[in-house]
Structure 1
Amino acid sequence: MQAIDAEARWHPSGWSLVFIGGDTLSATARSLAGFTTLRHRKHALTMVYRPMTTLPAMSAADDDAGVIVVGQVVRGTRNGYFVWVVVEGNPSSLPDFFRI
């Protein structure tokens, strides 16, 4: 069985469209929020924020300490290119996000 996005690729510019809300099938120009340089092989990612701390270096066991979940982003396709849809959260949490 071939995946729906098997023929899709990352945009050659290095920037991917970012849409807000809905799902990968209903992303429209009205829901376009901006662009990101995020590239990932997973279809769904949890966006997290790790606040800066002044505490001494944490051990590997404490690696997730201080992480705040800020939303979820799902990879989809549009016109043969991968796009991201922010299902929940603020798109500005994405790497190198550029709002339009």
Structure 2
Amino acid sequence: MRTFRALSLVGVLAAGAALLVGCSEDSVPQADVEAEAETQLAAEVGGTGLDVSCPGDLKAEVDETMECDLTVDGDDNTYPVTLTVTAVDGNQANFDIEVGDPSGG
């Protein structure tokens, strides 16, 4: 099992994550956002053992942003993650994921 190296995360940009918007709301459920961000980041840097934590649902509007936190097994840092909605088509929202400089540890 591979884990992330701290330096390999900073500046990572995963483009084009796509999720379905909830039926009764114009947002993507928090759990779906977190899971997709984890999947996209793992694919981008080739590692495991990461956890993305977001404050709530992601509003499905172009240019909407949300700040989340990324933690990685074996790394005491917390990385800020910015999600930006790039497109909304029917019940699908696309968003980019960018990892910033770590805080802590």
Per the normalisation by structure 1, the TM-score is 0.29
Larger helix share, 1 or 2: 2
Which has the larger Rg? 1
Larger strand share, 1 or 2: 2
Per the normalisation by structure 2, the TM-score is 0.28
